[in-house]
Structure 1
Amino acid sequence: MGKTVFIDFDGTYAHNGVIPEGHVRAVEQARRNGHRVLLCTGRPKILVAPDHAAVFDGLVAAAGGYVELDGMVLADRRFPADLARRAVELLEANDAVYILEGPDAAYVTSQGRDRLRRLITQGEQAANFGKAADGILGPLQITDDPASETFAKITCFQLAVPSAELAARLGPEVDVVPSSIGSLGERAGEFFLAGVDKSVGIAVVERHFGLDRADIIAIGDGHNDLEMVAYAGTGVAIEGGVPELLALADLIVPAPQHEGLVAAFERLGLIDPPAQAA
């Protein structure tokens, strides 16, 4: 077997929900060439469209908390019930707009969904979401009792306090990274269980297949990609990504709008460059 490649979704494989055709072809060609290619996203499984997931050999979702290969779930870590209750109480007390994300369902309150829709489709942030807004809003389920739901991750779009402050109040069981939409600022972020990140999900796949880490490639652009790019034998960052990630990367390639994955796959020998005209 050749290399095993882990690709972030938002900002890497897709831009504002739009996936370049060249990226799909590159993944398909790399797989035909004997390489494994997995999607490695902060999104929960429920927010990854089945036709998008079908292009890949497997899925690492929920920022490393969920791993699925060939329909077999290898990891599914969720907030313990007491911690989930405390997190929801703090979110509600701080006027948060948030989604509780599990693999099979993503939950919002009815008021939260209305606020979220206005924020990402009508407000000043709308341009930063583009077509991705439909993919986020469409699968959401309304809950009247959010503290009773099971979830692996919380994506918060708006808070009355900085997200780091709320994480500190929750204690050492929870970590937070800034939102992948940088313009949302410090009062947004992604909350997840301490010790869970994308490299943890990659390690599950590594053990399952008995991989050599030197043969692992990770490609991303955001704060939640730092650990996986550092962990991989070869780390690739997207131009315009967070500075900390650019500093870690072995290779930097263009953004999705310019089919950066095609350039990455060619330079890494995963696919053949197009034949030159005579």
Structure 2
Amino acid sequence: MSNKKLIVSDIDGTLLQSNKHISETTKKKIFDLIDEGHIFAIATGRMHGAGKIITQELDYDGFLISCNGAVVKHLKTGEILQAIELEKPLARKVADVCEKYGAYYHLYDVETIYANRFENLGKKYAEAMAALPPEYQFKVEFSEDLRGLIDSVPIYKIGLFHDVPEQFEAIMAELKKVPRLETCKSLETSFDVMKAGVSKATGIEAIRKHYEIPLEDVIAFGDNENDIDMIAYAGVGVAMSNAMKELKDVANFITLSNDEDGLVYALEKFIK
């Protein structure tokens, strides 16, 4: 067997196909590599509670990197390797900007989403909870005074959403000027804010050190802006063929798309 590898994958556009499921071929490859002694982890912008839903399809025994790297928590044991909170004054500043533009936004704890209105993704999550088994459920709470909650709950990420492109761009531009914030676009109409220095790369670093795996033995897969840091950081950074150009520019290898078992194609190339 080759050296033990740490394999880390983003979810949407990478591990998941366009139908929002993981192909049987990809599942088999991942579990075969785990059986051989390699380490697998998922890295997502979602909070831990929402990210673990993916284990309904891929029930692996390992760590989940969530909130774009702010939290690294084991799916089975609950061990936390990393939990980097957004400082309260910065969180209040972000909330002020969101409310200035009338944006819909979330505060993210490890297992709870706090939303300022009953709409959008928060409403979708809240309505979906009843259909999920208890072990996959998480809390979604709504408050008109979301800013007022900031001092009473830990916050690892703030996510904001706006359907008006001009206002969305204005919010992003304003927040990018605030010192000590890490910002990234996660979807076309959503934007994530964490403490400065936090990224999926810092999440990988925590797992890599935990297992004492050399950086050259880290393989990371992604497709979007919030994956760029981890693709640049990994010993082998792999971009899906459906990835954005900026991510492809920092990747070591461009694989097939998420609908063509791109993970499998690259893993067979780099792990013999």
| TM-score, with length taken from structure 2 | 0.82
Task: Return the letter of the residue paired with 2:201.
Answer: S
What is the alpha-carbon root mean square deviation over aligned residues? 2.7
Residue 57 (1) aligns with residue 62 (2): yes
CA distance in 2, matches of 1:215, 1:116: 36
CA distance in 1, matches of 2:105, 2:38: 37
SS for the counterpart of 1:241 is coil
Q: Measure how far apart 1:144 and its partner are.
A: 4.1
Q: Measure how far apart 1:87 and its partner are.
A: 1.7
Q: Is the 8 A contact 1:174 1:194 kept in 2?
A: yes
Q: Is the 8 A contact 1:47 1:139 kept in 2?
A: no
Q: Residue 32 of structure 1 is aligned with which of 27, 32, 35?
A: 35
Cα deviation 1:202-243 (Å, max 9, x = unaligned): 111122222211111111111111111111111101112111
Residue 227 (1) aligns with residue 229 (2): yes
Identity %: 25
Q: Measure how far apart 1:94 and its partner are.
A: 1.0
What corresponds to 1:100 in structure 2? 107
Residue 83 (1) aligns with residue 90 (2): yes
Would you say how many aligned residue pairs link Structure 1 and Structure 2? 249
What corresponds to 2:23 in structure 1? 20
Task: Return the letter of the residue paired with 1:248.
Answer: V
In structure 2, do the counterparts of structure 1 residues 28 and 155 end up closer, same or farther at CA, with 3 Å as the change threshold?
A: same
In structure 2, do the counterparts of structure 1 residues 235 and 116 end up closer, same or farther at CA, with 3 Å as the change threshold?
A: closer
Q: Measure how far apart 1:161 and its partner are.
A: 4.3
CA distance in 2, matches of 1:190, 1:26: 31
- Within-5 A mapping of 1:77-226: 77-109=84-116, 112-116=117-121, 140-147=140-147, 148=149, 149-158=153-162, 160-162=167-169, 163-168=171-176, 171-179=178-186, 181-182=187-188, 184=189, 188-226=190-228
CA distance in 1, matches of 2:143, 2:194: 20
Cα deviation 1:89-127 (Å, max 9, x = unaligned): 221121112222221111112xx2324579x89xxxxxx
CA distance in 1, matches of 2:38, 2:233: 19
CA distance in 2, matches of 1:6, 1:161: 30
Which one is further off, 145-154 or 87-96? 145-154
SS for the counterpart of 1:191 is strand
CA distance in 1, matches of 2:63, 2:168: 37
Task: Return the letter of the residue paired with 2:143.
Answer: T
CA distance in 1, matches of 2:121, 2:64: 26
Task: Return the letter of the residue paired with 1:166.
Answer: E
Q: Is the 8 A contact 1:223 1:242 kept in 2?
A: yes
| TM-score, with length taken from structure 1 | 0.80
Task: Return the letter of the residue paired with 2:88.
Answer: A
Q: Is the 8 A contact 2:14 2:221 kept in 1?
A: yes
Structure 1 spans left out of the alignment, 5+ residues = 122-130, 271-278
Cα deviation 1:129-159 (Å, max 9, x = unaligned): xx9xx99x98532234322143211222216
CA distance in 1, matches of 2:270, 2:245: 22
Structure 2 spans left out of the alignment, 5+ residues = none
SS for the counterpart of 1:154 is strand
In structure 2, do the counterparts of structure 1 residues 138 and 66 end up closer, same or farther at CA, with 3 Å as the change threshold?
A: closer
In structure 2, do the counterparts of structure 1 residues 116 and 9 end up closer, same or farther at CA, with 3 Å as the change threshold?
A: closer
SS for the counterpart of 2:194 is strand
In structure 2, do the counterparts of structure 1 residues 43 and 56 end up closer, same or farther at CA, with 3 Å as the change threshold?
A: farther
CA distance in 2, matches of 1:261, 1:161: 33
Q: Is the 8 A contact 2:224 2:247 kept in 1?
A: yes
